[in-house]
Amino acid sequence: MAPDDLKKNNQENAQAPAKKTVACPTCRKPAEYSASNIYRPFCSNRCQLIDLGEWAEGKYAIAAEPASGSNESPSDSESDEASSEVSDETSGEMSDETSDE
């Protein structure tokens, strides 16, 4: 090979970046990991939907620390307190009305 041919070959290789491939998380087939693969990191829409279905069925979970304190969320406690205050006020108003008669 002539030196010019080697130089040309090296330039072509340098200009064409290697495409990164990863194993599809669902079927383990090679999948191109680039902006041109709209399903990345999956190889196809089918594999992407299978994975979504598994998340929806609860087969996957993200580990988290259990909440400290009670099992109720703060918003539940606040709404319970607010509803008891409303019922107290309502019963108080009713008793005032009956005493005026």
Residues 57-79: tens digit of each pLDDT: 999 888 888 877 655 555 555 55
Say if 82 falls within a structural domain. no
Query: Residues 50-58: what's their mean pLDDT?
Result: 94
Q: Which residue has the higher pLDDT, 85 or 48?
A: 48
pLDDT of residue 36: 92
Number of domains in the chain: 1
pLDDT of residue 101: 47
Residue numbers of the domain that contains 53? 18-63
Q: Give the separation between CA 42 and CA 52, rounded to whole angstroms.
A: 11
Query: Residues 39-59: what's their mean pLDDT?
Result: 95
Closest residue by Cα to residue 34 from 21, 45, 49: 21
Amino acid at 73: S
Least confident of 16-25, 31-40, 75-84: 75-84
Say if 85 falls within a structural domain. no
Q: Which residue has the higher pLDDT, 31 or 11?
A: 31
pLDDT of residue 1: 55
Say if 45 falls within a structural domain. yes
